[in-house]
Chain A
Amino acid sequence: MSDISTHIGKPWKKPPFVQRAWLRWVLLIGFSAYLIAAFLTIEVNWMRVYEGLDRGKQFILAFTSPDFSSRSGDIWEGMIESIIMTVASSVVGIIISIPIALGAARNIAPLPIYLICRSIIAISRALQEIIVAILLVAIFGFGPLAGFLTLSFATIGFLSKLLAEDIESMDRVQAEAIKASGAKWAQWINYGVQPQVMPRLIGLSIYRLDINFRESAILGLVGAGGIGATLNTAFDRYEYDTAAAILLLIIVIVMALEYLSGIVRERVQ
Chain B
Amino acid sequence: MLRLEKLVKTYKTGDQALKAVDLVVPEGQVLALIGPSGAGKSTLIRCINRLVEPTSGKVHLGEVDLTSLSTAALRRQRSRMGMIFQEYALVERLTVMENVLSGRLGYVGFWRSFLRKFPQSDIDEAFRLLDRVGMAHMSDKRADELSGGQRQRVGICRALIQNPALLLVDEPTASLDPKTSRQIMRLICELCKERGLAAIINIHDVALAQMFVQRVIGLRFGAVEFDGLPEELTPDVLTTIYGEEDWEATIENVNDEDGAKE
Chain A interface (Cβ < 8 Å from any Cβ of B): 171, 173-174, 176-184, 186-188, 190-192, 195-196, 198-199
Tell me the complex Cα distance, A177–B76, Å: 15
Q: Give the nearest-CB partner of A177 in chain B.
A: B89
| Interfacial chain A residues near B90, Cβ < 8 Å | 174, 177
Are B85 and A177 interface neighbours, CB within 8 A?
yes
| Size class of the B contact interface (CB-based, 8 Å) | 35 or more
Which of B105-113, B242-250, B252-260 is the interface stretch? B105-113
Residue among B89, B90, B92, B94 having the largest count of chain A Cβ atoms under 10 Å: B89
| Interfacial chain B residues near A182, Cβ < 8 Å | 75-80, 105-107, 162
Return the 10 tightest CB-CB contacts between A and B, nearest first.
A182-B106, A182-B79, A183-B105, A182-B78, A177-B89, A195-B93, A180-B83, A173-B89, A187-B105, A182-B75
- Per DSSP, chain A at the interface is helix
Q: Give the nearest-CB partner of A172 in chain B.
A: B89
A sample of 14 more A-B contacts (CB under 8 A), given A174-B89, A180-B81, is: A176-B51, A176-B89, A177-B102, A178-B105, A181-B79, A182-B78, A182-B106, A183-B102, A183-B113, A184-B105, A186-B114, A187-B114, A191-B105, A195-B93
Residue among A179, A180, A186 having the largest count of chain B Cβ atoms under 10 Å: A180
Q: Give the nearest-CB partner of A195 in chain B.
A: B93
| Interfacial chain B residues near A192, Cβ < 8 Å | 91
Q: Does B22 contact A (CB under 8 A)?
A: no
Q: Does B87 contact A (CB under 8 A)?
A: yes
Tell me the complex Cα distance, A114–B87, Å: 30
Tell me the complex Cα distance, A180–B75, Å: 8
Q: Which of B51, B78, B92, B104 contacts A174 (CB 8 A)?
A: B92
Tell me the complex Cα distance, A176–B107, Å: 17
Query: Are A173 and B85 also in contact (CB < 8 A) when A182-B76, A195-B93, A196-B93 are?
Result: yes
Q: Does B218 contact A (CB under 8 A)?
A: no
Please name 7 pairs of A and B residues whose Cβ atoms are closer than 8 Å in the assembled complex, sorted by A.
A174-B92, A177-B90, A182-B78, A184-B105, A188-B105, A191-B98, A196-B93
